[in-house]
Structure 1
């Protein structure tokens, strides 16, 4: 869709009714080894509640995995089913013609299933994989499920031409169910841990049965040559100690080219070594930060965690970790935590700093960097854990009932669903939006949900197989209502690291700032490769043009796709322009 038409589309989407939030009980952390925060974090009342548009069909699929592509569409997938196979959904929620509505009889609305019953899986179960999106709008999936746990799939989107789309599949050196992945400064992709047998990840597994499933290794993959390195074991100490909760570790590229790995509650720094080649690259443990206070952050008591936007000159890289379960070894009856902590990963001597208690507890939520530089916490539950439980029946806010018999929720089984409203955290002030001050989605999004940022600066949430949901909803945050929005008319389609980015725009108010955000790739509360940077803004001598100074350090902008968003002095944000950033040779 042309960029200039996105603003007009947004006006149509915002005409839909907002759903009011309702109150619930506060939750307080218990049982931490570190001292508890003494009180709640400061809060603010948003200028409005934002708005939801609901009931966008996802082609009969649970959108458990989701990536944003170069053209702004969203690609998603789940596990195998009798009806859809290893199906893949391609969604275009910014196109009003794809939304259900009056006068559209005979037209199947919502996402469409592409590439038949194999989709982008290559015929190998890609459920529970780790995923990234490249600068070429390719989707690469590492690991998988059951018998296909040791496969890699490399999908070429071919600019959306389905006849030219291709999937390359190849075996991995070892099985990786729930691996962590990150793109490095030279475009190679680092895959870390996961387990070598599906289901062997949590504190109640039979360790005798799962002992051989421990995979405390890492490997690198070059998307240009489609070759991978051998498995290396320099991270064994941390990963083996975290097992069987070594799955979906957060792997974060640092400004010096090393990586930080969060496994369970440990946080360790590794320096990159070698000649830069695939076979000559390794990572050496150089230091460790203190453990994150409180229970482990990972499956099945998953918290929300993400890098905060970096401020020029990029000397600080803060990582926020919030929510999760109140205590380790949580069950379906354990309340979620409302505690939040952050740490500066650019400082090897940094300590975890309490952000204070959030206005509402949350487990299994999704974190997203929003277009105004705030953090949105979406989806999730108030009690319970990830996983599949006993039969249960629900009735949703739109009156739809779901009688679950298998693969049912182990969270919020009372059906109250008090966590359909997002919470926004402002890194500049350290404040959260007040509880229930933002609009509620219609459907709960519990285990196996996803959330991505669209080029319209709206958020699309989807998934939740435990509530039988094959729809998506789109949220318009409060900052989209701050008066006339700038419109990016055009901009650089691709650049190399360190090269200035040029944009042409129209705006009724002076544009003063620009935010660069990595495009979304998410599953299981994991925002792979997520990062954002405030760029120095240099207005051009020609009205409506700007040159944005990209950082010279390639570790700050690893190759991939990024959204650029312009800001006015009044806080209005533009639509996003997606640019491909390639490796600087």
Structure 2
């Protein structure tokens, strides 16, 4: 046995090493890129579904049968539901709209259950919302946004409903402006809004991708620039011709196990650019298979990512690893073409109270870097964002982070309580030392037609060096670790032309058709040396 003084020296050595390590850790964390801010300490609801509107407001939506929220409906407005588990007469809001100028919320009235539903913006800027649970499983709803001081609210359609019940389905706007709804629990079909004559059409691929833990739910949908859909479910993907209702191609399986709900990975299509003939899909993270079945909260998540050029004749998945194993991470396309991976946990699976070890570190995925250098760890947050959390790009370049309710009802005394706070994460491109190269859009058309050449006028404090990009970002519907309809299109631009002191003119060419960019409202960003402007909304039409 070692002498007491040697034991003391060993203990002191360990102690001081711990102190040094801890100081290095916190110093390193403090120096990591990105900043956090609290936008709203209490939104009244935990947002399961989030979407940014063209009026620079944000729609936040939870399920209706959640019991009391922390936001009341206006006096005299209540929802009567004799089948509600908690409140037969419910006078609490389960949806709100956030004004980004004042960081205040206004309650909205939603009548039927939107639990694990889907959504997508229509070409006119209306948010289409489909399915849910119980009385909402076949419902179609619309929210037509308005100015922040307006009175717009949810409309439940009474003249049309879904053919099949849709719980855990995914929506995607198509080149003609219609919306396809794919899958859902017990629904291995697709259907459309406006409805088509053939109603719901069987997609056998979804049935084949289903397993004991239902890993075909919330399938990942990406509209490719050839007009077909890349559909990913479980660990498989197909190319789907939505016009002919047939699978035209099968992709090789992705290693690493299932990625969709409840295995809790995420996916994004990288920016479309050049001649728009190439589409690259990335799928990252996920739970170990069986964690959901076993109700395991501490099974480590994996951190593998697969990347595939979906438009190549014989594509293969290129594998790489994130800095952290992660489930329930949200992949957000930034105006620069990089991808932010944020939220989630490092162990467990999707489901109520089935995850642990929150992953507080956002990660930046830089697609143009070589394998091994693509991931950058960013400044960690302090608020765990687990099951039912969301992340959305804002027009000013920040990322709005909301939600997290890993409990069946609202529960505020728990290790990971129901989260009503709304935060914003600012990537490094918004740091003060880059303010002098941040462009300001001074002029841009409100409406742009496909293939049209148009001019954008910007101002910049320091002289422009190199090309200034003009990139169009969609406003997706964020839910369950996937942003439905997310898209970034880099426009063809001419070299920046000086106009006068600090002002420049950029000639741009709009996307050629709805396959590259479906019709609707987009956030138009000018990007100077990797720093985006505040976006201006433009309307892209045929």
Q: TM-score range by the shorter chain?
A: 0.7 to 0.9
The answer as to 2:283 corresponding to 1:314 is no
1:493 corresponding residue in structure 2: 446
1:405 corresponding residue in structure 2: none
CA contact (8 A) 2:201 2:245 kept: no
- 1:432 Cα offset (Å): 3.5
TM-score between both structures, scaled by the size of structure 2? 0.81
CA contact (8 A) 1:158 1:165 kept: no
Supply the distance in 1 between the matched residues of 2:517 and 2:525 (Cα, whole angstroms).
16
- Spell out the pairing of 1:157-172 with structure 2 (5 A cutoff): 157-160=145-148, 162-163=150-151, 165=153, 167-169=155-157, 170-172=160-162
2:43 corresponding residue in structure 1: 59
- 1:22 Cα offset (Å): 9.2
Supply the distance in 1 between the matched residues of 2:275 and 2:300 (Cα, whole angstroms).
40
The answer as to 2:339 corresponding to 1:380 is no
- Spell out the pairing of 1:11-410 with structure 2 (5 A cutoff): 49-54=33-38, 56-80=40-64, 81-83=67-69, 84=71, 85=92, 87-93=94-100, 95=101, 98=102, 110-115=103-108, 118=109, 121=110, 123-160=111-148, 162-163=150-151, 165=153, 167-169=155-157, 170-195=160-185, 214-222=186-194, 227-242=195-210, 244-273=214-243, 282-330=244-292, 331-354=296-319, 356-388=320-352, 409-410=353-354
1:552 corresponding residue in structure 2: 512
Supply the distance in 2 between the matched residues of 1:131 and 1:534 (Cα, whole angstroms).
24
- After superposition, give the CA deviation of every residue in 1:232-276 in whole Å (9 maximum; x if it has no partner): 334124434425332111121122211111111110111243xxx
Supply the distance in 1 between the matched residues of 2:421 and 2:197 (Cα, whole angstroms).
39
SS of corresponding position for 2:531: coil
Measured on the aligned residues, the alpha-carbon RMSD in Å equals: 2.5
| Pair 1:162–1:230, CA change in 2 (3 A) | farther
Supply the distance in 2 between the matched residues of 1:186 and 1:218 (Cα, whole angstroms).
17
Match of 1:523 among 475, 479, 498: 479
CA contact (8 A) 2:215 2:259 kept: no
| Pair 1:22–1:581, CA change in 2 (3 A) | farther
Supply the distance in 2 between the matched residues of 1:525 and 1:270 (Cα, whole angstroms).
22
1:206 corresponding residue in structure 2: none
SS of corresponding position for 2:423: strand
CA contact (8 A) 2:209 2:234 kept: no
TM-score between both structures, scaled by the size of structure 1? 0.75
2:420 corresponding residue in structure 1: 470
For structure 1, the 5+ residue unaligned runs are 1-19, 25-44, 99-109, 196-213, 274-281, 389-408
CA contact (8 A) 2:57 2:148 kept: no
Supply the distance in 2 between the matched residues of 1:150 and 1:46 (Cα, whole angstroms).
48
Between stretches 330-339 and 173-182, larger displacement belongs to: 330-339
- 1:524 Cα offset (Å): 0.5
Supply the distance in 1 between the matched residues of 2:168 and 2:216 (Cα, whole angstroms).
9
- 1:171 Cα offset (Å): 2.1
SS of corresponding position for 1:465: coil
Supply the distance in 1 between the matched residues of 2:236 and 2:205 (Cα, whole angstroms).
11
- 1:540 Cα offset (Å): 5.3
Match of 1:564 among 524, 530, 533: 524
Supply the distance in 2 between the matched residues of 1:348 and 1:367 (Cα, whole angstroms).
26
- 1:374 Cα offset (Å): 0.8
- After superposition, give the CA deviation of every residue in 1:5-54 in whole Å (9 maximum; x if it has no partner): xxxxxxxxxxxxxxx99969xxxxxxxxxxxxxxxxxxxx9995211102
Question: Using CA pairs below 8 Å that are at least 6 residues apart, which structure has the higher relative contact order?
Answer: 1
CA contact (8 A) 1:425 1:433 kept: yes
SS of corresponding position for 2:354: strand
Length, aligned pairs only: 467
1:429 corresponding residue in structure 2: 369
CA contact (8 A) 1:504 1:544 kept: yes
- 1:318 Cα offset (Å): 0.4
For structure 2, the 5+ residue unaligned runs are 1-21, 72-91, 407-416
Larger radius of gyration: 2
CA contact (8 A) 2:119 2:129 kept: yes
- 1:329 Cα offset (Å): 4.5
The answer as to 2:450 corresponding to 1:504 is no
Supply the distance in 1 between the matched residues of 2:512 and 2:473 (Cα, whole angstroms).
17
| Pair 1:361–1:134, CA change in 2 (3 A) | same
SS of corresponding position for 1:255: coil
